[in-house]
């Protein structure tokens, strides 16, 4: 029997990440983390910071006493989490995904001992979620790392990062054993072009070929994730590991076979992360891709044994938009997408494509036959406060249309674990480090310069989502 209602135990929830919400950047023994180096970039989306940074740019940011760095303040979740979790409980969510800031646990990454204050902070947060009947999902690396690691090791470019990361994950997984069951070792592991500095930490002046360096860094990260996957099961057989990508899946621009093949090749390059992390080996097409570009990713024969540990339990997906490519555009590795005349875009140029979500869920299930967890979806928008209220029907419509397609995917027979909206409380945007790109159903009174009371206000979408959850998706 095909079940076309959401399953009874469906995990409705929300997702955020440490570096976009916590603030308290220099408190609790925390080291400096890469996102702490980013200034507000609204209106400057073409800048390459985030994507690539040089050693000098890192040092400049470390010494900058004048500019405003929004991640350093976030929405002060570090202090406000008990009240915020109360609001999330009122919303009715069953599950919440957040990340652990690596630099709170190992301030320099390679310290001999973990920082107990950091561990205790996350223990308190996790306990607070559990106390409120909310299942925590923990991301171990979400576009951040202690700044010492890029400066001393060139980030993931160095194989020395592998044991450093594994030790950090082991420390955390042992500490929260029995409290956390869903782990995401790396957020959106396929996003290596747009967020490469935050993700991989390779200073662009330290390597000869930046593109080759990204794939080499990725290979090291993949090896670390495979070891973490194995370790997670040893620590607690109940642990479930998710291999997560963000949707970069592309449609062909036309039905010209050359465009269709271009889309296939483009998508293979996005899926190879999942191929390795669920099947335990690289697909042949990627070896060909590296060979044809003369990329040396530092692959050793002995890596094969480690890659075999790559057996994730589920696929994690974040979905915001779809892409379109053609034969010519895919040769631009950095930015292969082209305009799709059938789709509208949001104010940041992200296409709005609810059917694309169903398309992708089907494609991923056909390919991997593993349960899928929708770990992020949502709409970034400029909200306006009118007499203390936020009437965000655009967000309600967006979420409704996406959840309708999710329900269709359940009807298609795909086992979907849950759906987590990004981000139930407004937080600092990742790509532009601004507050004005808001996703929440709860408004936060802070502006792009960090001014405001920090007060939380429920938007219209809060009440709508609350109803969706309480009816298990019957009322969309």
Active site residues: 188, 376
Give the x/- contact pattern for ligand BG6 in 2-21, rule: CB under 6 A: ---------------x--x-
- If the CB atoms of residues 87 and 381 are measured against ligand BG6, the closer one turns out to be 381
Of 282, 422, 462, 464, the one binding ligand BG6 (CB under 6 A) is 422
What is the Cα–Cα distance from 17 to 232, expressed in whole angstroms? 21
CB neighbour list of residue 203: distance below 8 Å, 6 or more residues apart:
53, 54, 55, 58, 150, 151, 154, 155, 197
| Token couple for 206 | 């330290």
Of 248, 429, 436, 461, the one binding ligand BG6 (CB under 6 A) is 429
- If the CB atoms of residues 62 and 347 are measured against ligand BG6, the closer one turns out to be 347
- If the CB atoms of residues 183 and 309 are measured against ligand BG6, the closer one turns out to be 183
Of 22, 52, 135, 188, the one binding ligand BG6 (CB under 6 A) is 188
Q: Is 376 in the site for ligand BG6 (CB under 6 A)?
A: yes
Q: Contact region for ligand BG6 (CB under 6 A) — 53-61, 106-114, 332-340, 426-434?
A: 426-434
Q: Is 80 in the site for ligand BG6 (CB under 6 A)?
A: no
Give me the least distance between CB of 111 and ligand BG6, in Å please. Answer: 26
Nearest residue to ligand BG6, by Cβ distance, number only: 431
Say what the alpha-carbon torsion angle 168, 113, 195, 189 is, to the nearest 10 degrees.
-10
Per-residue b or e along 304-335, where b marks 16 or more CB atoms closer than 10 Å to that residue's CB: eebbebbbbbbbbbbbbbbbbbbbebbeeeee
Give me the least distance between CB of 273 and ligand BG6, in Å please. Answer: 14
Give the x/- contact pattern for ligand BG6 in 130-149, rule: CB under 6 A: --------------------
Give me the least distance between CB of 102 and ligand BG6, in Å please. Answer: 15
Site for ligand BG6 in 231-270 (CB under 6 A): 246
Of 41, 400, 437, 438, the one binding ligand BG6 (CB under 6 A) is 437
Q: How far is CA 286 from CA 84, 208, 237, 270, 297, in A?
A: 44, 21, 32, 10, 11
Helix locations, 22-115, DSSP H: 55-63, 70-73, 77-91, 102-105
- If the CB atoms of residues 407 and 437 are measured against ligand BG6, the closer one turns out to be 437
- If the CB atoms of residues 262 and 423 are measured against ligand BG6, the closer one turns out to be 423
- If the CB atoms of residues 319 and 462 are measured against ligand BG6, the closer one turns out to be 319
CB neighbour list of residue 304: distance below 8 Å, 6 or more residues apart:
281
Q: Is 430 in the site for ligand BG6 (CB under 6 A)?
A: yes
250-252 and 416-422: which strand pairing?
Answer: unpaired
What is the Cα–Cα distance from 21 to 59, expressed in whole angstroms? 24
Q: Contact region for ligand BG6 (CB under 6 A) — 29-37, 288-296, 299-307, 422-430?
A: 422-430
Q: Is 456 in the site for ligand BG6 (CB under 6 A)?
A: no
Say what the alpha-carbon torsion angle 273, 275, 278, 282 is, to the nearest 10 degrees.
-90
- If the CB atoms of residues 248 and 278 are measured against ligand BG6, the closer one turns out to be 248
Give me the least distance between CB of 8 and ligand BG6, in Å please. Answer: 28
CB neighbour list of residue 284: distance below 8 Å, 6 or more residues apart:
none
Return the closest-CA partner of residue 252 out of 359, 348, 405: 359
What is the Cα–Cα distance from 419 to 403, expressed in whole angstroms? 9
Phi, psi angle pair for 315, to nearest 5°: -95, 130
Of 187, 278, 324, 405, the one binding ligand BG6 (CB under 6 A) is 187
Helix axes 460-470 and 393-411, enclosed angle (nearest 10): 20
- If the CB atoms of residues 71 and 175 are measured against ligand BG6, the closer one turns out to be 71
Give me the least distance between CB of 175 and ligand BG6, in Å please. Answer: 24
- Are 64 and 36 spatial neighbours (Cβ–Cβ below 8 Å)? no
Q: Is 433 in the site for ligand BG6 (CB under 6 A)?
A: no
Phi, psi angle pair for 442, to nearest 5°: -120, 120
Q: Contact region for ligand BG6 (CB under 6 A) — 87-95, 149-157, 291-299, 424-432?
A: 424-432
The residues binding ligand BG6 (CB under 6 A) are 17, 20, 187-188, 246, 318, 376, 380, 422, 429-431, 437
């Amino acid at each position: 029997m095909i079940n076309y209602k959401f399953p009874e135990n469906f995990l409705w929830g929300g997702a955020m990440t440490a570096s976009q919400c916590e603030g308290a950047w220099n408190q609790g023994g925390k080291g400096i983390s890469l996102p702490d180096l980013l200034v507000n970039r609204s209106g400057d989306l073409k800048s390459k910071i985030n994507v690539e940074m040089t050693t000098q740019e890192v040092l400049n940011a470390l010494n900058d006493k004048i500019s405003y760095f929004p991640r350093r303040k976030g929405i002060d979740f570090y202090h406000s989490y008990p009240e915020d979790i109360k609001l999330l409980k009122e919303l009715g969510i069953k599950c919440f995904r957040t990340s652990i800031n690596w630099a709170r646990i190992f301030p320099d990454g390679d310290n001999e001992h973990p920082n107990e204050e950091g561990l205790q902070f996350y223990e308190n947060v996790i306990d607070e979620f559990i106390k409120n009947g909310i299942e925590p999902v923990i991301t171990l690396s979400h576009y951040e790392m202690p700044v010492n690691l890029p400066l001393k090791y060139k980030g993931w470019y160095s194989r020395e990062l592998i044991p450093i990361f594994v030790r950090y994950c082991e420390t955390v997984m042992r500490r929260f054993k029995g409290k956390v069951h869903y782990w995401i070792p790396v957020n959106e592991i396929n996003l290596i072009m747009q967020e490469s500095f935050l993700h991989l930490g390779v200073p662009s002046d330290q390597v000869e070929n930046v593109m080759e360096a990204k794939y080499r860094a990725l290979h090291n990260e993949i090896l670390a994730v495979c070891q973490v996957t194995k370790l997670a099961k040893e620590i607690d057989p109940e642990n479930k590991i998710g291999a997560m990508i963000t949707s970069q899946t592309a449609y062909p621009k036309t039905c010209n076979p050359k465009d269709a093949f271009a889309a296939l090749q483009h998508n293979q390059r996005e899926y190879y992360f999942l191929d390795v992390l669920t099947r335990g080996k690289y697909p042949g097409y990627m070896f060909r891709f590296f060979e044809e570009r003369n990329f040396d990713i530092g692959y050793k024969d002995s890596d094969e044994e480690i890659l075999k540990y790559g057996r994730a339990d589920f696929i994690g997906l974040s979905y915001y938009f779809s892409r379109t490519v053609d034969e010519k555009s895919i040769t631009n590795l950095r930015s292969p997408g082209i305009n799709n005349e059938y789709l509208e875009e949001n104010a940041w140029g992200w296409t709005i494509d609810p059917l694309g979500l169903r398309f992708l869920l089907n494609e991923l299930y056909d390919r991997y036959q593993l349960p899928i967890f929708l770990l992020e979806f949502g709409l970034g928008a400029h909200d306006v406060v009118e007499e203390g209220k936020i009437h965000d029907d655009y967000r309600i419509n967006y979420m409704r249309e996406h959840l309708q397609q999710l329900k269709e995917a359940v009807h298609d027979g795909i086992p979907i674990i849950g759906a987590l909206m990004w981000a139930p409380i407004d937080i600092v945007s990742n790509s532009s480090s601004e507050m004005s790109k808001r996703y929440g159903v709860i408004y936060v009174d802070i502006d792009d310069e960090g001014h405001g009371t920090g007060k939380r206000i429920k938007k219209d979408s809060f009440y709508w989502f609350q109803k969706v959850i309480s009816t298990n998706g019957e009322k969309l």
